[in-house]
Amino acid sequence: MMFMLRVYCLPIVWLNLAVAVFSADKYSREDFPPGFIFGSGTSAYQVEGAASEDGRSPSIWDTFSHQGKMGGATGDISVDEYHKYKEDVKLMAEIGLDAYRFSISWPRLIPNGRGPANPKAVRYYNNLINELISHGIQPHVTLYHYDHPQALEDEYGGWISRKIIKDFTAFADVCFREFGDRVMYWTTLNEPNILPLFSYDVGQLPPNRCSPPFGFNCTQGNSTSEPYLVAHHLLLAHASAVRLYRKKYQDKQQGFIGINLFVFATYPLTNSTEDVLATQRANDFFVGLIANPVVYGVYPDIVKKNAGSRLPAFTNQESRQVKGSFDFLGVNHYMSIQVKDDSASLKSEYRDYLADMAVEMMADIDNTKFEYPIQPAGMQAALEYMKQAYGNPPIYIHENGQRTRRTSSLDDTSRVKYMHGYIGSVLDAIRNGSNTRGYFTWSLIDVLELLGGYEACFGLYYVDINDPQLKRHAKLSAHWYSQFLKGRPVGSTSDALIELA
């Protein structure tokens, strides 16, 4: 799970939503459309461990974490799903999940970034996929979750080079060929609207690129141009992989392919024209940078205007290839923000991506509690925005969950209240016409959080990382989700809380 921009923690003054709010307080699984998918998810570096086993090479995350930039936390072992996948699949079956979303580690499957596939990695992912299917659980696979091989970063700079388009497409080809006979849902990229900002503008995440006066103590990079260059290459790589899948695999394998976006619910701080326009500008920069090209084949006008020549242009052929390059859109949503105009930032001659956006963003987060505010109406607002701005595409909510401080207590009442509210808001959105087809919690178990190490957690299961056996312990939220998935109606949050066995 990832977020955020320059977020200021202030109380939120709620504005009226331009959507119908049903406030589903009492509901059951039967209220959702037939075929609606419920699942949970993780990602490779955050959950697998076995970082140097069976031929895996370092990813940019290995390099970053071993430089001490995650407070000493690394994914070397994490929660060791590489060796404990059967145990975890059994937990998924006991909960009653329809699907499990996970990612494939590029440096595990193709250690040098290009070349032959690692047979031990092929065997591992085949075993995981077969184990899921044997328990009636659909595999939903993300190809890239922030973790390309360090070898490609060293060779040509990773996503700042067009060379990665060919290598990513070859990696995708191996995945489609080896696993596509059983994987029906593919996501090319996780949050490509986050990566340019956090990795190449502010440099808070690997490969830790930025330039003064922007960013977090980087030694290389260019915050004014690289975020746009990287976004452009991500889009071209995505379109290339989709084109390959549709040409070579989709008719035979009968699967679906899409791309994932991080989506806030955004509200203007005031009713002023400036803040209202700033809110749309934030959406255009933050969501539209990726969504507009894949839906319409072009970047948003305001992005082109404010970024100018720093934003690469699509050729006519590239525009045609990017446009419509999805069967569904994945959405990661955690919270709502308020937006305040900051047009003064446009007066600076030397600007980064955030200055081009020209907004301030505010979230109602109490960091002393370590928990996200429970604002379920924001889920419906985010889905309504996707419906209205992008023609109501099929949507899978790939990530949604409550952050808490890691603790051995299994009473995560806040997470139960969060899930109850947000799943109910998904139902409200569907009743209002949203083409949402699935919901995945983040995360199945407590994993290495990319912005919180082992201090923050989102899991339905607690894992004591100091326990040599890394035993999983069901939290209250796991029991609540299981009973909901097995047909138990859930009412108000007080009624929904069930006692731990």
**What pLDDT was estimated at residue 22?**
40
pLDDT > 70 fraction of the chain, expressed in percent and rounded: 93
Residue 169 lies in a domain: yes
Establish whether 371 is a catalytic residue. no
Please state, in angstroms and rounded to a whole number, the distance separating the CA atoms of residues 346 and 222: 18
Q: Is residue 9 part of a domain?
A: no
Q: In CATH, what number is assigned to the domain containing residue 324?
A: 3.20.20.80
Question: What confidence tens digit (pLDDT) does each residue in 259-271 have?
Answer: 999 999 999 999 9
pLDDT confidence band for 492 (50 / 70 / 90): low
Query: How confident is the model over 230-289, as pLDDT tens digits?
Result: 999 999 999 999 999 999 999 999 999 999 999 999 999 999 999 999 999 999 999 999
Q: What pLDDT is stored for residue 370 in this prediction?
A: 87
Query: Is residue 4 in a domain?
Result: no
Q: Are 444 and 88 in contact (CB under 8 A)?
A: yes
- pTM across the whole model: 0.95
Within-domain flag for 15: no
User: Is 153 tagged catalytic?
Assistant: no
At position 470, the amino acid (one-letter code) is: L
Q: Determine which one of 81, 153, 178, 191 is catalytic.
A: 191
Tell me, yes or no, whether 18 lies in a domain.
no
In a domain, residue 11? The reply is no
Question: Which structure tokens are listed for 145?
Answer: 């979750």
Q: Is residue 12 part of a domain?
A: no
Domain that holds residue 396: 26-499
Mean pLDDT of 101-122: 98
How many folded domains does the chain comprise? 1
The answer to which of 15-24, 31-40, 151-160, 318-327 has the lowest mean pLDDT is 15-24
Mean pLDDT for 305-323 is 98
Radius of gyration of the chain (CA): 21
The pLDDT of residue 217 is 86
Residue 8's pLDDT band (boundaries 50, 70, 90)? very low
Q: Is the pLDDT of residue 3 over 80?
A: no
Nearest residue to 412 (alpha-carbon basis) of 480, 352, 355 = 480
Query: What's the pLDDT score for residue 332?
Result: 98
Within a domain: 392: yes
How high does pLDDT run on average in the chain? 93
For residues 167-181, one letter each, b for 16 or more C-beta atoms within 10 angstroms of the residue's C-beta and e for the rest, the string is: bbbbbbbbbbebbbe
pLDDT the model gives residue 203: 96
Q: Which of 48, 226, 399, 449 is catalytic?
A: 399
